[in-house]
């Protein structure tokens, strides 16, 4: 398995996986983004792609840097997605290790993300990775 920082040339593969992830998340019509917008916004997000031995994309993570006032410089993991046929092979851990290393190298104190309340496999994976999961806060969004 190979983990690489994606480039703009990877947008078609990434967008295909984003659509797959939306379907997995039970939100097949939820994607409003498109490849053109991804290209325009490219510098605001870091993308890590997992490639199999044939250089076929089998998963990705997207994250950006933020600031947590109580702790300092942080990162927010927006997506971590592994294609179904590759799950259970350690790819999620590999991608998360890459994201973690990049964030540490950039001086981040913390990596934060959300996990669906129904996705118990992901919750177990994150707990086994060492993350703490709390239900103290709710996810809020404001459409602009």
Known catalytic residues are 126
> Which residues face 4 on adjacent strands?
49
Phi, psi for residue 113 in degrees, rounded to 5: -165, 175
| Closest by Cα among 52, 54, 40 to 8 | 40
C-alpha closest to that of 101 among 5, 1, 18? 5
Say if CB 58 and CB 91 are below 8 A apart: yes
Phi, psi of 53 (to 5 degrees): -65, -15
Cβ proximity of 48 and 15 under 8 Å: no
């Amino acid at each position: 398995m190979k983990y690489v920082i994606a480039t703009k040339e990877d947008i078609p593969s990434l967008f295909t996986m984003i659509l797959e992830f939306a379907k997995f998340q039970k939100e097949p019509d939820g994607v409003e983004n498109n490849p053109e917008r991804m290209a325009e916004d490219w510098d605001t997000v870091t993308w890590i792609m997992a490639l199999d031995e044939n250089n076929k994309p089998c998963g990705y993570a997207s994250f950006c840097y933020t600031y947590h006032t109580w702790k300092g410089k942080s990162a927010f993991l927006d997506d971590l997605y592994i294609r179904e046929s590759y799950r259970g092979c350690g790819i999620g851990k590999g991608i998360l290790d890459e994201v973690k290393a990049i964030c540490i190298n950039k001086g981040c104190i913390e990596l934060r993300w959300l996990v669906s309340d129904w996705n118990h496999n992901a919750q177990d994976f994150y707990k086994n990775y060492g993350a703490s999961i709390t239900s103290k806060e709710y996810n809020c969004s404001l459409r602009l």
